[in-house]
Amino acid sequence: MADPALDPTLDPASLADEDWRALLSPTEHAILRESATERPGTGRYLDNEEAGAYHCAGCGNALYDGRHKFHSGCGWPSFFQEVEPGALKTVRDTSHRMIRVEMRCARCGGHLGHIFEDAPQTPTGTRHCVNGAALVFVPEGEDPLQVLRAHREGRY
């Protein structure tokens, strides 16, 4: 099966829902493809402080540099900016009787979480509140494709 995380030339928009279900864990699918949210304090990477980068669990797109991660106390991994402009796309989210800024992976459109302007302690003043299951962490010095492959195989 074609996998956009392992083949950067593949257009993730060409995948049908059944393809995504075959590639992603049930939790990853619920979050990335159905905009679910993991329970606070339960997600992977919440307390990760290793040097490296965070990639989209759906398509492998680089999203965040570990140097931009901070502990916000919200229960989800938090970052103050994306790895580079254009890595994310934002949409207005009016669900749950709130007006929020939802962030999605710019490459595959996978739901990541929300952006809040409540982090004055950061250089940007923003908190990117990200579902850990939407991410794959690539330690500094490791090959992203190898880590993504190992993640898909359940070895990472």
The pTM score is 0.94
In 3D space, the residue among 28, 75, 51 whose CA is nearest the CA of residue 64 turns out to be 51
Taking only the tens place, the pLDDT of each residue in 76-118 is 999 999 999 999 999 998 777 878 899 999 999 999 999 999 9
pLDDT, one tens digit per residue, over 19-33 is 999 999 999 999 999
What confidence tier does 155 reach under pLDDT thresholds 50, 70, 90? low
Which position among 59, 105, 108, 129 bears the catalytic label? 129
Known active-site residue 108: no
The per-residue pLDDT for 95 is 79
